[in-house]
Amino acid sequence: MTAAHPAGDADRAARSAVAEAARRRTFAVISHPDAGKSTLTEALALHARVIGQAGAVHGKAGRRGTVSDWMDMEKARGISITSAALQFEYRDAVINLLDTPGHADFSEDTYRVLTAVDAAVMLVDAAKGLETQTMKLFAVCKHRGIPIVTVINKWDRPGKNALELMDEISERTSLTPTPLTWPVGIAGDFRGVLDRSDGSYRRFTRTAGGATIAPEEALSPEAAVAREGDAWQQAVEEVDLLAATGADHEQSLFLDGVTTPVLFASAVSNFGVGALLDTLVDLAPAPTGRPDAEGSVRDLGEPFSAFVFKVQSGMDAAHRDRLAYIRICTGVFERGMVVTHGRTKRPFTTKYAQHVFGRERESVDLAYPGDVVGLVNASALGVGDSLYADRPVDYPPLTTFAPEHFAVVRSRETAKHKQFRKGIEQLDSEGVVQVLRSDRRGDGAPVLAVVGPMQFEVATHRMEHEFNAPVALDRLPYSLAMRTDEASLPLIASSGGVEVVQRADGELLALFSDKWALRMLQQRHSGITLEPLVAAQLA
């Protein structure tokens, strides 16, 4: 535990925490795969001038990769498969930007990230509109009360009509879209935007490959109509129609999840990205007190507290270290402070604390509510753990999703059993996979359980390249896991086609081929314990 501060020091720390929290904007970018999420993340960093050149489209031969997609598999596939945290300053604000995987197979990682943010940017492909994974992630944001800013991306390519997209957002999300900017030129002919705050025209000029900030020219309405003619006049008429239907921004309705501000952009060309940064600083909420596991709200000025929302290894090939990402909820974090690990009630020293910018890091001495800090070599910390100084607090546990795909994993090289065991334990602790064991299969052949099959690819790739332990996977014919207990084991074991395994946390799970096999067992033995693994998933 930290030593008690004199009253004056404690008061100053509380005021500092509250004042610094007001400067923070912590948000995630959510979307369907290929909507341009990682490209937008890079463009935001470029506009904040924390990088000098953006990798236009990651995963393409001869192009630079994005800062947020640093894993070899991400570079090869051109998709995000793990969340990434970026922190930078813009204007007078401190931005904590969390890039998330768009692919459904990694939705559990995205869900955890959404527990750590105060707002979200929903990225919509102008040609495809609201896609499946976008809607699932929107449902999580709505459930958690996270305000959403919508960005219509790829307006430089052919796509849907702008008013049609507004109708789609309204009908499918029940949010009222309130555009802050409006495109001049149809999708595929992006000339700039009409700024609804003052009626001016923001004209954009392309840059080679979108690698640098696109020049932006502000023109009066008179100059705009002279330059753009019918395209400007159409934009003005459509904006008048929006005003007539009451589609104007009102801050309280945005924060209450009734409306969503909308911006039009082309992230790959860096069009409209500066306006998004300004919108986040001006409109997105700063951190506020968070409820603990019992529903009591802990004020920002109280002593330090945080929770772990992600654990990641393999970020530094030279050191093979392990990084636990924490979201600071209250108080002031000071590097080297000794805090209490809520799950074990043991002291935890924060000697190696870092701010993260993609794969790059630098030591951090102070951090405040809303900040994301990486704790290095935090082997004792797991996803969902709480940390605190002085007054105990436990934040709500993070949901573990029910796996739907299962495979036995074995080492390809018997001489590398230690590396194999260490790697499997590491992936389990990070939440990359769930590791299930049984006496029947033995310690050398555990079962890996995942939400989506691409997680198997990540696990096998990391086992070989990070832990030097190549593995073989044998898929199992199960698609459903249910929680059970010791008393039910004899009856379950007497039924064919069912396997019982144990998770690292001690939970006993019964694996079924499908829901019909489950129903047959329940009909034969009505008294056995078979419960769903989680109460809620992505809707």
Binding site as annotated, residues = 99-103
* Interhelix angle 230-244/221-228, nearest 10 degrees: 130
Residues whose CB is less than 8 angstroms from the CB of residue 171 and which lie 6 or more positions away in sequence, other chains included: none
Query: How many Cβ atoms sit within 10 Å of the Cβ of residue 100?
Result: 28
Q: What is the DSSP string of 114-175?
A: HTT-SEEEEEEETTTBS-HHHHHHHHHHHHHT--EEEEEE-TTS----HHHHHHHHHHHH--
Q: How far apart are CA 370 and CA 353, in angstroms?
A: 16
- Ramachandran region, residue 464 (left: φ > 0; alpha: ψ -120 to 50; beta: rest): alpha
Q: Which two tokens stand for residue 488?
A: 């039910």
Q: Which class for 211: exposed (0-12), middle (13-18), buried (19 or more C-beta within 10 A)?
A: middle
Distances (CA, A) of 334 to 103, 201, 338, 389, 420: 36, 46, 9, 11, 36
Q: Dihedral sign for Cα 238, 240, 241, 245, please.
A: positive
Q: Identity (one letter) of the amino acid at 99?
A: D
> At 138, which helix (H) or strand (E)?
helix 132-144
Q: How far apart are CA 182 and CA 261, in angstroms?
A: 11
Q: How many CA atoms lie within 13 A of 364 on its CB side?
A: 22
Per DSSP (E only), the strands in 31-101 are 84-90, 93-99
| CA-wise closest residue to 263 among 119, 96, 123, 134 | 123
Q: Which two tokens stand for residue 457?
A: 């690819």
Q: What is the Rg, in whole angstroms, of the alpha carbon atoms belonging to the chain?
A: 25
Q: Decide: 342 and 392 in contact? Cβ < 8 Å.
A: yes
Residues whose CB is less than 8 angstroms from the CB of residue 506 and which lie 6 or more positions away in sequence, other chains included: none
Q: How far apart are CA 490 and CA 476, in angstroms?
A: 22
Per the annotation, binding residues for GTP are 99-103
> At 224, which helix (H) or strand (E)?
helix 221-228
Q: Which two tokens stand for residue 495?
A: 């039924």
Q: Please count the residues of the chain.
A: 539
How many helices (H) and strands (E) the chain has is answered by 14, 31
Residues whose CB is less than 8 angstroms from the CB of residue 226 and which lie 6 or more positions away in sequence, other chains included: none
Query: How many Cβ atoms sit within 10 Å of the Cβ of residue 222?
Result: 9
- The residues pairing with 346 across neighbouring beta strands, listed in sequence order, are 341
